[in-house]
């Protein structure tokens, strides 16, 4: 599966790769990031301790998403900001199909600036136009209020379905 690079007024979304290693470590070494992420595993199903304590931990996440992209069932874009293209987070899909699950993480230093809203909107627009997607979903723990606000702003609605304690939000295309 070939994933394009997307641009928004403030951001560049490019397929996650090894060149994002430092940014991924800075993101995943923040305790706040792992708080609502659920269990994190590598491509072989081995647990990755969070927050990440070594760059190798976060590199295993990059490898996971590269393999998912190669297999065609999911992927991540690196979210880069400004002229220096600073890594601020990632956004992508945990599943691809008629119903595609969006997921995202943004470094806490960039919370409250509307960056993930901008990135997620671009990701949803791309997916909406690609390969028969009819519905989006996101799974968010009830305590993760900023993420709930984000998906509701994007047009998702809460359902009564839960998975591992996370509420399912959905949006039809």
Helix extents (H) in 45-114: 55-71
| pLDDT digits 0-9 by tens, 94-132 | 999 999 999 999 999 999 999 999 999 999 999 988 777
* Per-residue pLDDT at 123: 97
Give the whole-number percent of the chain exceeding pLDDT 90: 90
Q: Per residue in 83-106, is it b (16+ CB within 10 Å) or e — as a string?
A: eeeebbbbbbbbebeeebbbbbbb
Write the pLDDT tens digit of every residue in 21-80: 999 999 999 999 989 888 899 999 999 999 999 999 999 999 999 999 999 999 999 999
Residue 170 near residue 136, CB atoms below 8 Å: yes
Look at residues 15, 27, 89 and name the one whose alpha carbon lies nearest to residue 55. Answer: 27
| Residue 122 neighbours by CB under 8 Å, 6+ apart | 6, 8, 11, 13
Thinking of the domain 6-172, which architecture would CATH place it in? 3-Layer(aba) Sandwich (3.40)
CA distance 127 to 91: 12
- Residue entry with tokens 């919370």: 111
* Domain edges within the chain: 6-172
Query: Roughly how many angstroms between the first and final C-alpha of the chain, as a whole number?
Result: 22
Asked if residues 150 and 117 have their Cβ atoms less than 8 Å apart, the reply is yes
C-alpha 49/C-alpha 128 separation (Å) is 34
Tens digit of pLDDT for each residue in 77-98?
999 999 999 999 999 999 999 9
- Go through the chain and tell me how many residues it has: 173
- Residue 1 is predicted with a pLDDT of 78
CA-CA distance, 111 to 99, in Å (whole number)?
A: 28
């Amino acid at each position: 599966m070939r994933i394009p690079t997307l641009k928004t007024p403030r951001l560049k979304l490019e397929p996650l790769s090894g060149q994002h290693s430092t940014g991924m470590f800075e993101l995943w070494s923040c305790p706040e990031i792992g708080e609502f992420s659920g269990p994190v595993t590598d491509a072989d199903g081995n647990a990755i301790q969070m927050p990440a304590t070594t760059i190798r931990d976060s590199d295993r996440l990059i490898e996971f998403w590269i393999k998912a992209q190669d297999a065609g069932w999911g992927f991540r874009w690196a979210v880069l900001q400004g002229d220096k293209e600073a890594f601020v987070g990632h956004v992508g899909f945990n599943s691809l199909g008629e119903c595609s699950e969006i997921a995202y993480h943004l470094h806490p230093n960039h919370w409250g600036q509307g960056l993930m809203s901008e990135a997620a909107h671009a990701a949803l627009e791309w997916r909406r136009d690609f390969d028969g997607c009819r519905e989006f979903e996101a799974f968010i723990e009830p305590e993760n209020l900023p993420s709930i606000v984000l998906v509701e702003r994007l047009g998702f609605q809460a359902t009564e379905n839960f998975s591992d304690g996370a509420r399912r939000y959905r949006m039809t295309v």
